[in-house]
Amino acid sequence: MRNPPSKSAGAVRIVAGRLRGSRLAVPEREGLRPTPDRVRETLFNWLMPYLPGMRCLDLYAGTGALGIEALSRGADACTFVERDRELARALADNLARLRVPGAEVANADAAGWLAGPARPFDLVFLDPPFDANLWQGAAALLESRGWLADGGFAYVESPREARLELPPAWAPHREGFAGAVRYALYRRSGAVPLS
């Protein structure tokens, strides 16, 4: 992907798992950039040994492709947080149409939602709109309020050149690049060292 598109419309395909090949309807929205198939495939290959039974949080859900891919591949539950009412409704419609168990959609602003009572998640997807510069504030709230479990993973998608200051407890695990996008997986301290 050279530059994130300014608008998105059409469909996103689920890459693997029990929902493999399913398509998610995507409303046209300025700045919406669904994570490409190739990036999702790489990410979930990294997560494959850990994914079964995980509780996930798709914080800036958009299409919900990341969280739905996790559920398709064996995660137990995913909470999707999306402030845009139309996107949240489209996501809920896609989940109902695909009969996805363990999914919850919150039509809310991410920062306000994170201010509520925390429950730890095993995997958090942090992929906010690139032009809003929300990574550090959201990561700080996730860490300080206890949203990410010990040993849990945080997936961060950002512009290739962005220099993010993430919590010190988030140890880099893997990273990759797709055009102008950097995608990285972190693991919160308290985990068994990885080989």
4 in any annotated domain: no
Is 2 inside a domain boundary? no
Is the pLDDT confidence value at 96 over 60? yes
Which segment of 52-61, 120-129, 183-192 scores lowest on mean pLDDT? 183-192
Helix (H, G, I), strand (E, B) or coil at 114: helix
Residue 182 dihedral angles phi and psi, to the nearest 5°: -105, 135
Number of domains the chain contains? 1
Summarize the confidence of residues 30-37 as an average pLDDT: 73
10 dihedral zone (left: phi>0; alpha: psi -120 to 50; beta): left
Please report whether residue 5 resides in a domain.
no
- Whether residue 50 lies inside any domain: the answer is yes
Higher pLDDT, 88 or 37: 88
Q: Is residue 84 part of a domain?
A: yes
Average pLDDT, the chain: 88
Would you call 194 helix, strand, or coil by DSSP? coil
Cα separation of 22 and 16, whole Å? 9
DSSP helix, strand, coil percent of the chain (3-state; round to 5): 25, 30, 45
| pLDDT higher than threshold 80 for residue 42 | yes
Domain presence at residue 162: yes
pLDDT of residue 31: 62
Over pLDDT 70: what percentage of the chain?
89
Q: Is residue 194 part of a domain?
A: no
Q: Report if residue 88 sits inside a domain.
A: yes
Sign of CA dihedral 76, 128, 194, 18: positive
Q: Is the pLDDT of residue 3 over 70?
A: no
Q: Which CATH number does the domain housing residue 102 bear?
A: 3.40.50.150
pTM of the predicted model as reported, rounded to 2 decimal places: 0.88
Classified as helix, coil or strand, 41 is helix
Q: Which domain holds residue 41?
A: 10-188
